[in-house]
Amino acid sequence: MLADRPIQAIPGDLPRKWLVDDCVELIVWFAEDGGTFGFQFHYDLKNAPKAFTFTKTAGFSHNLIDTGEDLPEENSTPILAESVPVNISEVERLFREHSENLPESLRAFVLDQMREFKQDH
C-alpha cells in the first residue's frame, strides 16, 4: 500500500505529496486553495518505468521514465522521456490495487481522471 515519503518543498512550485510502495509511486500536486491540482502515477518501476500524468492545465500524458542511473557511481535525477501508448485499464487496475489506504477524496480524484481518459481515448 502507498505510504507517505518525505519530500522537499521547491520554492515557487505547488505543494505536493509523494506516496510510494514496492511497486508504484504517486505524486500529487495541490492547488493554492488546497484542492487537488494533478497527479503522476509511476508504475512498472523495475522493468520499463512509466508515468501517467494529469494536471488541470496540461491534461493527460503518458511517458517512459529515464531513471538516469546507467552508472553505479552516479545518482542522476529521473526525467520523463518519450511519450508512449498507455493501457489505461492496466494503470487503473494497478492504482486500485495499491491505493486502498488513501483518503477517499484523493483516490476518487485519480480514478475519476482515469475514467475520463478512457472515455476520451
Average pLDDT score over residue span 51-67: 95
**Helices and strands of the chain, counted as H and E runs:** 2, 7
| pLDDT confidence of residue 35 | 92
The answer to whether 80 and 67 have CB atoms below 8 angstroms apart is: no
Which structural domain, as residue segments, surrounds residue 29? 3-120
Average pLDDT score over residue span 5-24: 90
Number of domains in the chain: 1
Q: How far apart are CA 121 and CA 115, in angstroms?
A: 10
Would the pTM of this model clear 0.85, i.e. be above it?
yes
Instruction: Supply the DSSP symbol for 74.
Output: -
Q: How far apart are CA 90 and CA 18, in angstroms?
A: 21
59: phi then psi, degrees, rounded to nearest 5: 80, -140
* 3-state DSSP assignment of residue 87: coil
With a cut of 70, say whether residue 73 has pLDDT above it.
no
With a cut of 90, say whether residue 79 has pLDDT above it.
no
